[in-house]
Structure 1
């Protein structure tokens, strides 16, 4: 009974600390979707691949979205003609390189500020590097799903207006409210093509867009809160019921601790706006490098992210992304464990 009480107390403390950041993340994601036209950025985006990868990785500071929002935004950027390096950089970095996640991580690790800055720095370096590598693929369409590749090809040929391309893709689950789990929502956010076109160019009244924002926020919160509850429960149960000797044997090894936390990050699939509170529960038993690995690798690679990415990329492209992210994360955090910590 004592163990159950301890687990429940830890579970509630994680929820209370994390819920405000989850709400902020959902609100910013909705504001981006309905009040910001990403196409306005295209005119000022750099054409240089390396600079574009860096800028794309930093765009999250302007448009804070977590894993529930970065995939549809990156998809729209690709379809609207953004350079590959910019879209990939945003896709990988936006869940971490944004002010909400920075604030949440600082709140969780205020006594270890180096974790906050290492998380931001490693995420930026990895996202920029992978985006630059992908920029060497001159034509990304062989790695894209047919619907996305076709939209890009048609746009390049300028055979139909851009809004027509977007309206033909309205059946995608990514255009429905509650995009955290692919296809989980049954109520489309926008069902009429004319409404979609008008909303994309900002022609609907503010009142209409506020109603859409409210509907989307409620749906996202319902789904994301479920993931937060599950993740908090897992963290609490692991801390209380798994023998401390087992945790210490994994958590103190410079390699095993990193691999264990990377695996946990992929399986738990907790939102980047609150994952720092999950990682905090392991701070006393796991190495600094492994905590950074969890905070860097999780937002880039997890189970629900793979499902969302299938709406953009073919499986082999997702494998490339995940493999590169894993290698970069392991190399950087292992160096941190062996030579710095």
Structure 2
């Protein structure tokens, strides 16, 4: 019974911590849809894959959301045809490379300013590299959920026929689905994939609609995305709470004595506890006296990118194998960079 109470306490604490930031991300996502000409935003991004990944990684300074709120924004960018390098760079870097997290980390580690700057630098570097790697996938659709792939603009040379991923998608619901509806001439929502090129043309005119119409559609979009992403957030939070209760923390901490095992232990701890990036620095501070600097950085860098809680959110956008790729690349790069800190800097 005590373990059940602890699990419920952790579950609700994760939800209370995460939902406000999820709401911020959804609002930003809807604002992108209705108040920003996303085609211009995407067009402003560098065409070079490496520079595009770097630019996408730094967009977090404009959209300060944590790992609960970055997924809906990244999904909007993907749906609007943003290059894979830009979308992936933003997805991985935004939870850390933003002014709110910088301020929180500085508050916790003001006595160790190198932790603050290395956290931002490593996060930016890892997100840029992974975004660059994903840019080699010319068409991102095979890595996306069918509903998301269906909503994307068709690649050049394929606009005359539907994508096989669109054909495999579930039948369209009559309800508003996030990122797939626009206002038609009568002010009613219309599906982007149902009207093909007509919707693409209409996208450029959304920002010219009356403010009241745009606000109403924005509200509808916020409600729908909260329903979609809120459900998987609840499931992810429940899994995170169960894992934290089922696995004694002492088992994880007992591994943190050496330069290698300490990094692995803190990466595992970051994955399990799933603490929001705006407050995780205070959690990591409690281990500062017993763990190496590299392992603290591993916790602060890896956790916001991939943790138990946000896997459910990622599954609303990506297929399982894409998440495995993201997880493996982020884990390997984090381990290598923080191991260098342990071996040659600390």
**1:324 partnered with 2:329:** yes
- 1:256-281 per-position Cα deviation (integer Å, ceiling 9, x unaligned): 11111111111111211111122112
Aligned-partner Cα distance in 1 for 2:249–2:316:
37
Aligned-partner Cα distance in 1 for 2:149–2:223:
30
**1:144 partnered with 2:144:** yes
**1:205 partnered with 2:190:** no
- Structure-to-structure mapping, 1:274-285, within 5 angstroms: 274-285=279-290
| 2:27 match | 30
Task: Note the C-alpha offset of 1:126.
Answer: 0.5
**1:42 partnered with 2:42:** yes
Aligned-partner Cα distance in 2 for 1:123–1:141:
26
What's the TM-score, normalizing by structure 1?
Answer: 0.71
| 1:298 match | 303
Aligned-partner Cα distance in 1 for 2:286–2:174:
41
Aligned-partner Cα distance in 1 for 2:43–2:203:
21
Aligned-partner Cα distance in 2 for 1:47–1:105:
33
Task: Note the C-alpha offset of 1:249.
Answer: 4.7
Task: Note the C-alpha offset of 1:39.
Answer: 3.6
- Structure-to-structure mapping, 1:263-274, within 5 angstroms: 263-274=268-279
8 Å contact 1:70–1:95 — kept in the other structure?
A: yes
Q: More displaced, 321-330 or 300-309?
A: 300-309
- 1:123-161 per-position Cα deviation (integer Å, ceiling 9, x unaligned): 01101111111111222222222222233354755579x
8 Å contact 2:108–2:285 — kept in the other structure?
A: yes
Q: More displaced, 137-146 or 109-118?
A: 137-146
Task: Note the C-alpha offset of 1:26.
Answer: 5.4
Distance 1:28 1:55, change over 3 A: same
Aligned-partner Cα distance in 1 for 2:262–2:121:
20
| 1:255 match | 260
Aligned-partner Cα distance in 2 for 1:269–1:143:
24
Number of paired residues? Answer: 301
| 1:109 match | 109
- 1:268-324 per-position Cα deviation (integer Å, ceiling 9, x unaligned): 112111111221121222111111101110111111221111122211111111001
Gaps of at least 5 residues in structure 2 are: 1-9, 180-187, 193-198
| 1:69 match | 69
Q: CA RMSD in A?
A: 4.3
Secondary structure, in 3 states, of the residue corresponding to 1:286? coil
8 Å contact 2:144–2:319 — kept in the other structure?
A: yes
8 Å contact 1:247–1:285 — kept in the other structure?
A: no
Gaps of at least 5 residues in structure 1 are: 1-10, 177-191
